[in-house]
Amino acid sequence: MEESLDPKDPAEFRALAQRMLNEMLDHLFALRDAPAWQPMPDSVRGSFNAPVPIDGAGAVSAYEDFVRDVLPYPNGNLHPRFWGWVQGTGTPLAMMADMLASGMNPHLAGFNQAPALVEQQVISWLVDVMGFPSGASGLLVSGGTMANTVALAVARHAKAGFDVREEGMQGARPRMMFYGSAETHSWASKAAELLGLGRRSFRKAAVDHAGRIDVGALAVCIAEDRANGLQPFAVVGTAGTVNTGQTDDLRSLAALCRKEELWFHVDGAFGALARLSANLRPIVQGLEEADSLGFDLHKWMYMPFESACVLVRDGAAHRATFASSAPYIAEQARGVIAGGLPFADLGLELTRSFKALKVWMSLKAYGVSTFARLIEQNVEQARYLGALVGAHPELELLAPVCLNVVCFRYVKPALDPAALNRLNEELLLRVQESGIAVPSSTVLDDKFALRVAIVNHRSRREDFDTLVDAVLRFGREA
Protein backbone atom coordinates (compact mmCIF):
# COMPACT_ATOMS: atom_id res chain seq x y z
CA MET A 1 0.00 0.00 0.00
CA GLU A 2 1.34 3.43 -0.90
CA GLU A 3 2.06 5.83 1.93
CA SER A 4 1.55 9.52 2.59
CA LEU A 5 2.46 11.90 5.41
CA ASP A 6 -1.09 13.22 5.63
CA PRO A 7 -2.85 12.07 8.83
CA LYS A 8 -4.52 8.70 8.64
CA ASP A 9 -7.18 9.95 11.05
CA PRO A 10 -8.02 13.60 10.25
CA ALA A 11 -10.17 13.98 13.36
CA GLU A 12 -7.34 12.80 15.61
CA PHE A 13 -4.87 15.21 13.98
CA ARG A 14 -7.38 18.06 14.17
CA ALA A 15 -7.59 17.52 17.93
CA LEU A 16 -3.79 17.56 18.22
CA ALA A 17 -3.58 20.70 16.09
CA GLN A 18 -6.17 22.43 18.25
CA ARG A 19 -4.20 21.44 21.34
CA MET A 20 -1.01 22.87 19.80
CA LEU A 21 -2.72 26.16 19.03
CA ASN A 22 -4.36 26.48 22.43
CA GLU A 23 -1.20 25.63 24.35
CA MET A 24 0.95 28.00 22.29
CA LEU A 25 -1.53 30.82 22.89
CA ASP A 26 -1.55 29.93 26.60
CA HIS A 27 2.25 30.22 26.50
CA LEU A 28 2.11 33.65 24.86
CA PHE A 29 -0.57 35.03 27.15
CA ALA A 30 1.30 33.87 30.27
CA LEU A 31 4.72 35.32 29.33
CA ARG A 32 4.63 38.07 31.95
CA ASP A 33 4.33 35.52 34.75
CA ALA A 34 7.18 33.36 33.42
CA PRO A 35 10.92 33.92 33.82
CA ALA A 36 12.50 36.01 31.09
CA TRP A 37 15.03 33.19 30.65
CA GLN A 38 15.91 30.00 32.45
CA PRO A 39 18.88 27.64 32.08
CA MET A 40 18.31 24.13 30.76
CA PRO A 41 18.78 21.30 33.26
CA ASP A 42 21.42 18.76 32.31
CA SER A 43 18.70 16.16 31.74
CA VAL A 44 17.05 18.35 29.10
CA ARG A 45 20.34 19.24 27.44
CA GLY A 46 21.27 15.55 27.35
CA SER A 47 18.00 14.63 25.63
CA PHE A 48 19.29 16.25 22.43
CA ASN A 49 22.06 13.65 22.21
CA ALA A 50 19.62 10.83 21.41
CA PRO A 51 20.31 8.91 18.18
CA VAL A 52 18.27 9.52 15.02
CA PRO A 53 14.82 7.85 15.25
CA ILE A 54 14.49 4.95 12.81
CA ASP A 55 10.86 4.21 13.66
CA GLY A 56 8.71 7.17 14.64
CA ALA A 57 6.80 7.45 17.92
CA GLY A 58 3.92 9.44 16.43
CA ALA A 59 2.89 13.07 16.26
CA VAL A 60 1.52 13.25 19.81
CA SER A 61 4.77 11.95 21.27
CA ALA A 62 6.85 14.35 19.17
CA TYR A 63 4.71 17.29 20.29
CA GLU A 64 4.97 16.27 23.95
CA ASP A 65 8.77 16.17 23.60
CA PHE A 66 8.58 19.73 22.28
CA VAL A 67 6.45 20.88 25.20
CA ARG A 68 8.79 19.29 27.73
CA ASP A 69 12.23 19.93 26.24
CA VAL A 70 11.97 22.91 23.87
CA LEU A 71 9.16 25.32 24.70
CA PRO A 72 10.31 26.20 28.25
CA TYR A 73 13.89 27.00 27.15
CA PRO A 74 14.02 29.73 24.47
CA ASN A 75 16.42 32.66 24.67
CA GLY A 76 13.51 34.70 25.98
CA ASN A 77 12.95 37.24 23.22
CA LEU A 78 9.14 37.00 23.48
CA HIS A 79 9.21 38.10 27.12
CA PRO A 80 8.21 41.65 28.15
CA ARG A 81 11.58 42.12 29.88
CA PHE A 82 13.77 40.92 27.03
CA TRP A 83 15.93 43.75 25.68
CA GLY A 84 19.06 41.88 24.59
CA TRP A 85 20.86 42.51 21.31
CA VAL A 86 18.09 43.74 18.94
CA GLN A 87 15.66 40.85 18.73
CA GLY A 88 11.99 41.16 17.91
CA THR A 89 9.11 39.69 19.84
CA GLY A 90 6.62 38.40 17.29
CA THR A 91 2.83 38.69 17.61
CA PRO A 92 0.00 36.16 17.89
CA LEU A 93 -1.48 37.28 14.57
CA ALA A 94 1.84 36.97 12.75
CA MET A 95 2.32 33.52 14.32
CA MET A 96 -0.97 32.45 12.80
CA ALA A 97 0.01 34.01 9.47
CA ASP A 98 3.15 31.88 9.49
CA MET A 99 0.97 28.83 10.08
CA LEU A 100 -1.20 29.80 7.11
CA ALA A 101 1.91 30.41 4.99
CA SER A 102 3.32 26.99 5.90
CA GLY A 103 -0.06 25.41 5.24
CA MET A 104 -0.10 26.85 1.71
CA ASN A 105 3.65 26.23 1.34
CA PRO A 106 4.04 28.25 -1.87
CA HIS A 107 7.32 28.56 -3.74
CA LEU A 108 8.13 32.27 -3.76
CA ALA A 109 10.55 32.52 -6.64
CA GLY A 110 7.52 34.08 -8.31
CA PHE A 111 5.00 32.06 -10.36
CA ASN A 112 1.47 33.00 -11.40
CA GLN A 113 -0.06 32.88 -7.93
CA ALA A 114 -1.62 35.10 -5.27
CA PRO A 115 1.28 34.74 -2.79
CA ALA A 116 3.59 36.44 -5.30
CA LEU A 117 1.16 39.34 -5.54
CA VAL A 118 1.11 39.57 -1.74
CA GLU A 119 4.89 40.00 -1.68
CA GLN A 120 4.77 42.51 -4.52
CA GLN A 121 2.19 44.52 -2.60
CA VAL A 122 4.21 44.39 0.62
CA ILE A 123 7.30 45.63 -1.22
CA SER A 124 5.22 48.40 -2.80
CA TRP A 125 3.98 49.45 0.63
CA LEU A 126 7.50 49.44 2.07
CA VAL A 127 8.82 51.46 -0.88
CA ASP A 128 6.12 54.01 -0.11
CA VAL A 129 6.63 54.31 3.65
CA MET A 130 10.42 54.54 3.24
CA GLY A 131 10.10 57.36 0.74
CA PHE A 132 11.68 55.52 -2.18
CA PRO A 133 10.51 56.26 -5.75
CA SER A 134 7.81 54.17 -7.37
CA GLY A 135 10.28 52.44 -9.71
CA ALA A 136 12.32 51.03 -6.83
CA SER A 137 12.56 47.28 -6.37
CA GLY A 138 12.76 45.19 -3.25
CA LEU A 139 12.97 41.73 -1.80
CA LEU A 140 12.11 40.09 1.50
CA VAL A 141 15.08 38.16 2.89
CA SER A 142 16.10 36.39 6.08
CA GLY A 143 17.71 39.25 8.01
CA GLY A 144 19.69 42.45 7.98
CA THR A 145 22.97 40.77 7.04
CA MET A 146 21.42 39.29 3.92
CA ALA A 147 19.57 42.51 3.06
CA ASN A 148 22.75 44.56 3.32
CA THR A 149 24.81 41.97 1.45
CA VAL A 150 22.32 41.91 -1.43
CA ALA A 151 22.51 45.72 -1.59
CA LEU A 152 26.32 45.69 -1.57
CA ALA A 153 26.30 43.15 -4.41
CA VAL A 154 24.13 45.53 -6.45
CA ALA A 155 26.48 48.42 -5.63
CA ARG A 156 29.51 46.36 -6.70
CA HIS A 157 27.86 45.39 -9.98
CA ALA A 158 26.64 48.93 -10.72
CA LYS A 159 29.91 50.71 -9.91
CA ALA A 160 32.60 48.22 -10.94
CA GLY A 161 33.10 49.51 -14.46
CA PHE A 162 33.38 45.95 -15.77
CA ASP A 163 31.16 42.86 -15.86
CA VAL A 164 31.63 41.46 -12.35
CA ARG A 165 29.26 38.58 -13.03
CA GLU A 166 31.21 37.42 -16.06
CA GLU A 167 34.79 38.21 -15.04
CA GLY A 168 34.72 37.95 -11.25
CA MET A 169 37.12 39.76 -8.93
CA GLN A 170 40.32 37.94 -9.91
CA GLY A 171 41.57 40.36 -12.57
CA ALA A 172 44.50 42.76 -12.14
CA ARG A 173 42.32 45.77 -11.40
CA PRO A 174 42.37 48.41 -8.66
CA ARG A 175 40.96 47.19 -5.37
CA MET A 176 37.31 48.22 -5.00
CA MET A 177 36.74 50.06 -1.70
CA PHE A 178 33.64 50.77 0.35
CA TYR A 179 33.30 52.73 3.56
CA GLY A 180 31.45 52.85 6.83
CA SER A 181 32.29 53.90 10.33
CA ALA A 182 33.86 52.22 13.33
CA GLU A 183 30.26 51.60 14.47
CA THR A 184 29.14 49.80 11.29
CA HIS A 185 27.73 46.35 12.04
CA SER A 186 29.94 43.33 11.36
CA TRP A 187 27.84 42.32 8.34
CA ALA A 188 30.06 44.64 6.25
CA SER A 189 33.18 42.56 6.82
CA LYS A 190 31.33 39.30 6.19
CA ALA A 191 29.81 40.68 2.99
CA ALA A 192 33.24 41.84 1.80
CA GLU A 193 34.52 38.30 2.27
CA LEU A 194 31.53 36.66 0.59
CA LEU A 195 31.58 39.00 -2.43
CA GLY A 196 35.27 38.40 -3.09
CA LEU A 197 36.25 41.95 -2.14
CA GLY A 198 38.15 40.95 0.98
CA ARG A 199 38.02 42.66 4.35
CA ARG A 200 40.72 45.12 3.30
CA SER A 201 38.18 46.59 0.90
CA PHE A 202 36.07 47.86 3.82
CA ARG A 203 37.56 50.99 5.36
CA LYS A 204 36.19 52.38 8.61
CA ALA A 205 36.12 56.15 9.03
CA ALA A 206 36.33 57.78 12.44
CA VAL A 207 33.24 58.67 14.44
CA ASP A 208 32.41 61.83 16.36
CA HIS A 209 31.86 62.07 20.12
CA ALA A 210 28.33 60.70 19.73
CA GLY A 211 29.35 57.66 17.67
CA ARG A 212 28.22 58.97 14.27
CA ILE A 213 30.43 58.80 11.21
CA ASP A 214 32.69 61.83 10.76
CA VAL A 215 31.77 62.89 7.22
CA GLY A 216 34.89 65.03 6.86
CA ALA A 217 37.12 62.14 7.89
CA LEU A 218 35.26 59.90 5.43
CA ALA A 219 35.93 62.35 2.59
CA VAL A 220 39.64 62.24 3.45
CA CYS A 221 39.60 58.41 3.35
CA ILE A 222 38.02 58.44 -0.11
CA ALA A 223 40.51 61.01 -1.43
CA GLU A 224 43.47 59.07 0.00
CA ASP A 225 42.33 55.82 -1.57
CA ARG A 226 41.80 57.41 -4.97
CA ALA A 227 45.27 58.99 -4.76
CA ASN A 228 46.69 55.54 -4.02
CA GLY A 229 45.11 54.01 -7.12
CA LEU A 230 42.19 52.29 -5.38
CA GLN A 231 38.57 52.39 -6.60
CA PRO A 232 35.99 53.67 -4.10
CA PHE A 233 32.49 52.49 -5.00
CA ALA A 234 30.12 52.69 -2.01
CA VAL A 235 29.44 54.24 1.39
CA VAL A 236 27.40 52.64 4.17
CA GLY A 237 25.48 54.91 6.51
CA THR A 238 23.82 53.54 9.62
CA ALA A 239 20.36 54.35 10.94
CA GLY A 240 20.52 53.03 14.48
CA THR A 241 24.02 51.84 15.39
CA VAL A 242 24.03 48.53 17.17
CA ASN A 243 26.01 49.78 20.17
CA THR A 244 24.10 52.92 21.11
CA GLY A 245 21.32 53.52 18.57
CA GLN A 246 22.93 56.57 16.95
CA THR A 247 22.13 57.56 13.37
CA ASP A 248 24.72 58.94 10.97
CA ASP A 249 24.12 62.25 9.20
CA LEU A 250 22.43 60.56 6.26
CA ARG A 251 21.75 63.72 4.29
CA SER A 252 25.41 64.73 4.39
CA LEU A 253 26.43 61.22 3.38
CA ALA A 254 23.99 61.31 0.46
CA ALA A 255 25.44 64.63 -0.69
CA LEU A 256 28.99 63.32 -0.43
CA CYS A 257 28.11 60.21 -2.43
CA ARG A 258 26.51 62.28 -5.17
CA LYS A 259 29.61 64.47 -5.34
CA GLU A 260 31.96 61.48 -5.43
CA GLU A 261 29.68 59.36 -7.66
CA LEU A 262 29.51 56.58 -5.08
CA TRP A 263 26.67 54.23 -4.21
CA PHE A 264 24.96 55.24 -0.97
CA HIS A 265 23.60 52.37 1.11
CA VAL A 266 21.84 52.72 4.45
CA ASP A 267 21.93 49.93 7.01
CA GLY A 268 18.69 50.64 8.80
CA ALA A 269 18.41 47.27 10.52
CA PHE A 270 16.17 48.64 13.24
CA GLY A 271 16.52 52.43 13.08
CA ALA A 272 15.04 52.85 9.59
CA LEU A 273 11.62 51.98 10.93
CA ALA A 274 11.65 55.15 13.02
CA ARG A 275 10.54 56.67 9.72
CA LEU A 276 7.06 55.26 10.34
CA SER A 277 6.63 57.89 13.07
CA ALA A 278 6.21 61.51 12.00
CA ASN A 279 7.72 62.52 15.35
CA LEU A 280 10.85 60.38 14.93
CA ARG A 281 11.28 60.74 11.17
CA PRO A 282 13.70 63.69 11.45
CA ILE A 283 16.21 61.39 13.18
CA VAL A 284 16.56 59.30 10.00
CA GLN A 285 16.10 62.05 7.42
CA GLY A 286 18.17 61.41 4.34
CA LEU A 287 17.35 57.72 4.36
CA GLU A 288 15.01 58.31 1.42
CA GLU A 289 17.98 59.60 -0.64
CA ALA A 290 19.83 56.28 -0.44
CA ASP A 291 20.52 54.07 -3.45
CA SER A 292 19.66 51.07 -1.30
CA LEU A 293 18.33 50.32 2.15
CA GLY A 294 18.30 47.24 4.36
CA PHE A 295 16.03 46.87 7.40
CA ASP A 296 14.51 44.19 9.61
CA LEU A 297 10.76 43.87 10.02
CA HIS A 298 11.41 41.26 12.72
CA LYS A 299 13.02 43.95 14.86
CA TRP A 300 11.09 47.18 15.11
CA MET A 301 7.95 45.98 13.37
CA TYR A 302 7.75 43.09 15.83
CA MET A 303 7.35 40.36 13.17
CA PRO A 304 8.47 36.78 13.85
CA PHE A 305 11.75 35.70 12.29
CA GLU A 306 12.62 35.71 9.40
CA SER A 307 11.45 38.96 7.89
CA ALA A 308 13.84 41.57 6.53
CA CYS A 309 13.78 43.76 3.45
CA VAL A 310 16.20 45.26 0.95
CA LEU A 311 15.06 48.16 -1.25
CA VAL A 312 17.00 49.35 -4.30
CA ARG A 313 16.26 52.71 -5.93
CA ASP A 314 17.28 51.53 -9.41
CA GLY A 315 15.20 48.43 -10.05
CA ALA A 316 17.01 47.70 -13.32
CA ALA A 317 20.40 47.66 -11.57
CA HIS A 318 18.98 45.34 -8.91
CA ARG A 319 17.72 42.85 -11.48
CA ALA A 320 20.88 43.07 -13.58
CA THR A 321 22.93 41.95 -10.56
CA PHE A 322 21.13 38.64 -10.08
CA ALA A 323 18.87 37.75 -13.02
CA SER A 324 19.59 34.48 -14.80
CA SER A 325 17.71 32.03 -16.98
CA ALA A 326 17.56 28.33 -17.70
CA PRO A 327 15.27 26.24 -19.90
CA TYR A 328 13.70 24.46 -16.91
CA ILE A 329 12.47 27.76 -15.43
CA ALA A 330 11.63 29.57 -18.66
CA GLU A 331 8.67 31.94 -18.50
CA GLN A 332 5.50 30.95 -20.38
CA ALA A 333 2.82 33.24 -21.77
CA ARG A 334 0.15 31.38 -19.79
CA GLY A 335 -0.07 28.83 -17.00
CA VAL A 336 1.64 28.46 -13.65
CA ILE A 337 4.91 30.17 -14.58
CA ALA A 338 3.36 33.08 -16.50
CA GLY A 339 5.07 36.23 -15.27
CA GLY A 340 8.29 34.34 -14.63
CA LEU A 341 10.26 34.17 -11.39
CA PRO A 342 10.86 37.84 -10.55
CA PHE A 343 11.96 37.34 -6.95
CA ALA A 344 14.61 34.81 -7.98
CA ASP A 345 16.04 37.54 -10.22
CA LEU A 346 16.53 39.92 -7.28
CA GLY A 347 18.64 37.83 -4.91
CA LEU A 348 20.62 34.66 -4.33
CA GLU A 349 17.73 32.36 -3.51
CA LEU A 350 15.59 30.50 -5.99
CA THR A 351 13.56 28.71 -3.34
CA ARG A 352 11.96 31.21 -0.97
CA SER A 353 9.28 30.91 1.70
CA PHE A 354 6.12 33.00 2.01
CA LYS A 355 7.62 35.61 4.38
CA ALA A 356 5.34 38.34 3.13
CA LEU A 357 2.06 36.96 4.48
CA LYS A 358 2.67 37.91 8.12
CA VAL A 359 3.69 41.43 7.08
CA TRP A 360 0.71 41.80 4.74
CA MET A 361 -1.81 40.59 7.32
CA SER A 362 -0.25 42.68 10.10
CA LEU A 363 -0.31 45.89 8.07
CA LYS A 364 -3.90 45.20 7.06
CA ALA A 365 -4.92 44.43 10.64
CA TYR A 366 -3.07 47.19 12.50
CA GLY A 367 -2.04 49.81 9.95
CA VAL A 368 1.18 51.80 9.89
CA SER A 369 -0.12 54.14 12.59
CA THR A 370 -0.17 51.37 15.21
CA PHE A 371 3.44 50.43 14.54
CA ALA A 372 4.41 54.10 14.65
CA ARG A 373 2.83 54.46 18.10
CA LEU A 374 4.57 51.34 19.39
CA ILE A 375 7.94 52.56 18.11
CA GLU A 376 7.35 55.91 19.81
CA GLN A 377 6.40 54.01 22.97
CA ASN A 378 9.71 52.13 22.93
CA VAL A 379 11.63 55.39 22.50
CA GLU A 380 9.77 56.94 25.44
CA GLN A 381 10.56 53.84 27.51
CA ALA A 382 14.26 54.24 26.68
CA ARG A 383 14.14 57.85 27.81
CA TYR A 384 12.38 56.77 30.99
CA LEU A 385 15.06 54.18 31.74
CA GLY A 386 17.77 56.72 30.94
CA ALA A 387 16.20 59.14 33.43
CA LEU A 388 16.05 56.40 36.11
CA VAL A 389 19.74 55.68 35.59
CA GLY A 390 20.70 59.35 35.53
CA ALA A 391 18.85 60.03 38.76
CA HIS A 392 20.57 57.29 40.79
CA PRO A 393 24.03 57.83 42.28
CA GLU A 394 24.92 54.11 42.04
CA LEU A 395 24.27 53.98 38.29
CA GLU A 396 26.08 55.63 35.39
CA LEU A 397 24.74 56.31 31.90
CA LEU A 398 27.50 55.50 29.41
CA ALA A 399 26.01 56.95 26.22
CA PRO A 400 23.31 59.47 25.34
CA VAL A 401 19.85 57.97 24.85
CA CYS A 402 19.08 59.08 21.30
CA LEU A 403 16.60 56.44 20.18
CA ASN A 404 15.82 53.12 21.86
CA VAL A 405 19.15 51.92 23.31
CA VAL A 406 20.28 52.56 26.89
CA CYS A 407 23.83 51.68 27.98
CA PHE A 408 24.65 51.96 31.68
CA ARG A 409 26.55 50.35 34.53
CA TYR A 410 26.56 49.98 38.27
CA VAL A 411 29.32 51.96 40.00
CA LYS A 412 31.32 51.43 43.18
CA PRO A 413 33.88 54.23 43.61
CA ALA A 414 36.30 52.01 45.53
CA LEU A 415 36.81 49.65 42.59
CA ASP A 416 39.45 50.11 39.91
CA PRO A 417 38.28 50.06 36.24
CA ALA A 418 39.03 46.37 35.67
CA ALA A 419 37.22 45.32 38.84
CA LEU A 420 34.26 47.52 37.97
CA ASN A 421 34.01 45.83 34.56
CA ARG A 422 34.10 42.40 36.19
CA LEU A 423 31.39 43.47 38.63
CA ASN A 424 29.09 44.66 35.86
CA GLU A 425 29.63 41.53 33.82
CA GLU A 426 28.65 39.51 36.88
CA LEU A 427 25.57 41.70 37.40
CA LEU A 428 24.49 41.10 33.81
CA LEU A 429 24.71 37.34 34.25
CA ARG A 430 22.87 37.43 37.57
CA VAL A 431 20.04 39.47 36.08
CA GLN A 432 19.74 37.03 33.19
CA GLU A 433 20.08 33.86 35.25
CA SER A 434 17.56 35.08 37.82
CA GLY A 435 14.97 35.24 35.04
CA ILE A 436 14.17 38.86 35.91
CA ALA A 437 15.22 40.37 32.58
CA VAL A 438 17.51 39.92 29.60
CA PRO A 439 19.65 42.90 28.70
CA SER A 440 22.83 42.24 26.73
CA SER A 441 26.20 43.99 26.90
CA THR A 442 28.73 46.07 25.06
CA VAL A 443 31.97 47.92 25.85
CA LEU A 444 32.12 51.71 25.52
CA ASP A 445 35.39 53.54 26.15
CA ASP A 446 36.74 50.38 27.83
CA LYS A 447 33.74 50.31 30.20
CA PHE A 448 31.58 47.20 30.35
CA ALA A 449 27.97 48.29 29.83
CA LEU A 450 24.61 46.70 30.40
CA ARG A 451 22.88 47.37 27.08
CA VAL A 452 19.09 47.62 26.86
CA ALA A 453 17.77 47.70 23.27
CA ILE A 454 14.00 48.15 23.31
CA VAL A 455 12.14 46.69 20.34
CA ASN A 456 9.49 45.01 22.47
CA HIS A 457 5.78 45.74 22.16
CA ARG A 458 5.08 43.91 25.44
CA SER A 459 7.28 46.05 27.69
CA ARG A 460 5.79 48.45 30.25
CA ARG A 461 7.43 51.20 32.28
CA GLU A 462 7.16 49.06 35.39
CA ASP A 463 9.45 46.51 33.71
CA PHE A 464 12.26 49.05 33.62
CA ASP A 465 11.71 49.81 37.31
CA THR A 466 12.10 46.08 37.92
CA LEU A 467 15.37 46.01 35.97
CA VAL A 468 16.86 48.95 37.84
CA ASP A 469 15.83 47.48 41.20
CA ALA A 470 17.48 44.17 40.28
CA VAL A 471 20.74 45.80 39.17
CA LEU A 472 20.91 47.82 42.37
CA ARG A 473 20.15 44.81 44.54
CA PHE A 474 22.69 42.54 42.86
CA GLY A 475 25.26 45.33 42.81
CA ARG A 476 24.95 45.89 46.54
CA GLU A 477 25.14 42.17 47.23
CA ALA A 478 28.24 41.62 45.08
Please list the residues that pair with 410 across neighbouring strands: 395
Residue 328 pLDDT exceeds 90: no
**Per-residue model confidence (pLDDT) at position 478:** 84
- What percent of the chain clears pLDDT 70, i.e. is strictly above it? 100
Residue 337 pLDDT exceeds 90: yes
Q: 3-state SS of 202-271?
A: EEEECECCCCCECHHHHHHHHHHHHHCCCEEEEEEEEECCCCCCCECCHHHHHHHHHHHCCEEEEECCCH
Which tens digits make up the pLDDT trace of 350-390? 999 999 999 999 999 999 999 999 999 999 999 999 999 99
Q: Within 10 Å of residue 323's Cβ, how many Cβ atoms? A: 15
Categorize the per-residue pLDDT at 171 as very low, low, confident or very high, splitting at 50, 70 and 90: confident
**Per-residue model confidence (pLDDT) at position 437:** 98
CA dist 450 → 95, 209, 398, 404, 478 (Å): 30, 20, 9, 14, 16
Residue 235 pLDDT exceeds 90: yes
Alpha helices (runs of H) in 292-438, residue ranges in sequence order: 297-300, 315-322, 356-390, 417-433
**Per-residue model confidence (pLDDT) at position 411:** 98
Please, are residues 343 and 329 in contact by the beta-carbon 8 Å criterion?
Answer: no
Categorize the per-residue pLDDT at 341 as very low, low, confident or very high, splitting at 50, 70 and 90: very high
Which tens digits make up the pLDDT trace of 411-448? 999 999 999 999 999 999 999 999 999 999 999 999 99
Please, are residues 289 and 248 in contact by the beta-carbon 8 Å criterion?
Answer: no
Please list the residues that pair with 239 across neighbouring strands: 247
Please list the residues that pair with 265 across neighbouring strands: 236, 292
- Phi, then psi, of 205 in degrees rounded to 5: -85, 160
Which is nearest to 81 in space by CA: 28, 23, 31, 26? Answer: 31
- Residue with more model confidence, 326 or 238: 238
- How confident is the model over 41-70, as a mean pLDDT? 97
Which tens digits make up the pLDDT trace of 69-78? 999 999 999 9
- Phi, then psi, of 456 in degrees rounded to 5: -130, 115
Which tens digits make up the pLDDT trace of 9-50? 999 999 999 999 999 999 999 999 999 999 999 999 999 999
- How confident is the model over 221-235, as a mean pLDDT? 98
- How confident is the model over 241-255, as a mean pLDDT? 97
Please list the residues that pair with 180 across neighbouring strands: 204
**Per-residue model confidence (pLDDT) at position 374:** 98
